[in-house]
Amino acid sequence: MKLLVTGSGGREHALVRKLLQNNEVELVYCAPGNGGTASEKGCENVDLSDPQALADFAAVNSVDMALPGSEDMLVAGIADRFKEKGIPVLGPHRAAALLEGSKCMAKDFMKKYGIRTAAYENFTSYDDARSYLETASFPIVLKADGLAAGKGVLICADRSEAMTALDTLMSDRAFGDAGDSIVIEEYLTGVEASILSFYDGKTIMPLLSAKDHKKILEGETGPNTGGMGVVSPNPHVDNEVMSLFQKEILEPTCIGLETEGLNFSGVIFFGLMINDKGVYLLEYNLRMGDPETQAVLSLLDSDLLELIRAALDGKLDRAKVKWKTGSSCCVVMASGGYPGSYEKGKLINGIESCSADVFVAGASLKDGVLYTSGGRVLNVVATGDDLEEARRNCYADVAKISFEKAVYRKDIGGPVLD
């Protein structure tokens, strides 16, 4: 069978490699892909990014299944375009993708279905938001309603910061239309967890939990990034957290999706905050996380394609998923300067001597050799009998890889897990 994966990061490289482990898969197209997907035997990069062009390509090339990666494509309705062509697609239609694409809609959905989340108000008027902030307590969180490449969440320590954030979102329109509506919500403390799951329209099947490390510097300091590393399972997600998550978040989400007619076959990624009051849902993403996917898939002992088929065929209630014991650790190697400006075109050495999985996030292939082409360049993913061993294995391989001005955090999965 032929598959089409869309996207160009480490998540897509990991998906492609995992899918190719199934002998039924004869070819995976990756659009646009990267230097890593280009080096996988059985994968062909396709230089397309427009949803309609991708659906047309899939139809002409007899693609059996489409796996769209990024939120902007899903919100633009890429799943609807594949469906119009009769191609099974693992991803929400546009209406459901808005649970990620509109934070106001997501919060109203959570409130309506009693899903535990931070207290909030939605605003479309600058003046109303300003009056609300006059009497609010701080810290407080302001969020642009629409997609803002992960930058639309502003955590404000006091009233003056909140007023500045409000101006940034609604007067200066730093994120354009995305800030025309905003959420103002209660600031929660605690530890974060990511839980990816498959959804078939009736059943949500959670995968292993994961812990993202979003800041560029050790000790969770410095600016936010797309993610500098992940461990799985998340050491903070014990049985008690999991059962609170099931009862207060997963089950009401399932009921809400069905009641609102928002059912789809795809992925739901729950962004959680855990504290001594319970487990809170910060956000839904309607796609795989990056780099969570790389760490979680490395522990999957079942066939990924079989799980995807179960999600597409409405059979997740009967699906059995097997996990390897132990833990995984994913360290992101980035270009010096990221998440600000950085240089590209640096030769990458040493991947061939690694025993861990090395996925390409931002590198291109020239004459069979990889050169850096992005901020996040490589994801090194290792497993071990426990988290300590997974970390040791991972960092042993990170040390074998070099490119000019490479940077990475040395504390992924370390003592500072908050």
Contact residues: ligand AMP, CB under 6 A = 118, 141, 153, 155, 185-188, 192, 271, 282-283
> Residue 292 binds what, of ligand AMP, ligand GLY, none (CB under 5 to 8 Å, by partner type)?
ligand GLY
Chosen residue from 12, 40, 212, 397 binding ligand GLY by CB under 6 A: 212
CB 294 to ligand GLY: min, Å: 10
Q: Is 171 helix (H, G, I), strand (E, B) or coil?
A: helix
Q: 335 or 379, CB closer to ligand GLY?
A: 379
Determine, following the binding rule CB under 6 A, whether residue 229 of this chain makes contact with ligand GLY.
no
Phi-psi category of residue 146: left, alpha or beta, with phi > 0 → left and psi -120 to 50 → alpha: beta
The count of residues interacting with ligand GLY (CB under 6 A) is: 6
> Residue 290 binds what, of ligand GLY, ligand AMP, none (CB under 5 to 8 Å, by partner type)?
ligand GLY
Q: 282 or 358, CB closer to ligand AMP?
A: 282
At 120, the amino acid letter reads Y
Structure tokens at 135: 């009497």
Q: 271 or 350, CB closer to ligand GLY?
A: 271
Q: 145 or 283, CB closer to ligand AMP?
A: 283
Contacts of 59 (CB under 8 A, 6+ apart): 85, 86, 87
Tell me whether the omega of the peptide bond preceding residue 233 falls within 30 degrees of 0, making it cis: yes
CB 187 to ligand AMP: min, Å: 5
Determine, following the binding rule CB under 6 A, whether residue 227 of this chain makes contact with ligand GLY.
yes
CB 154 to ligand AMP: min, Å: 9
Q: 33 or 289, CB closer to ligand GLY?
A: 289
Q: How far is CA 396 from the centre of its chain?
A: 26
Tell me whether the omega of the peptide bond preceding residue 206 falls within 30 degrees of 0, making it cis: no
> Residue 187 binds what, of ligand AMP, ligand GLY, none (CB under 5 to 8 Å, by partner type)?
ligand AMP
> Residue 148 binds what, of ligand AMP, ligand GLY, none (CB under 5 to 8 Å, by partner type)?
none
Residues 22, 182: Cα–Cα separation, whole Å: 44
> Quick one: which of 229, 218, 193 has its CA closest to 415?
218
What character string, x for contact with ligand GLY (CB under 6 A) and - otherwise, covers 266-295? -------------------x---xx-x---
Residues 91, 97: Cα–Cα separation, whole Å: 8
> Quick one: which of 298, 334, 346 has its CA closest to 225?
334
Neighbours of 167 (CB within 10 A): 14
Q: Give the end-to-end CA distance of the chain in Å, rounded to a whole number.
A: 42
Residues 273, 283: Cα–Cα separation, whole Å: 10
> Residue 118 binds what, of ligand AMP, ligand GLY, none (CB under 5 to 8 Å, by partner type)?
ligand AMP
What character string, x for contact with ligand GLY (CB under 6 A) and - otherwise, covers 354-393? ----------------------------------------
CB 105 to ligand GLY: min, Å: 18
Phi-psi category of residue 369: left, alpha or beta, with phi > 0 → left and psi -120 to 50 → alpha: beta
Burial of 67-91, coded b for 16+ CB within 10 Å and e otherwise, reads bbbbbebbbbbbbbbbbebebbbbb
Binding residues (CB under 6 A) for ligand GLY: these are 212, 227, 285, 289-290, 292
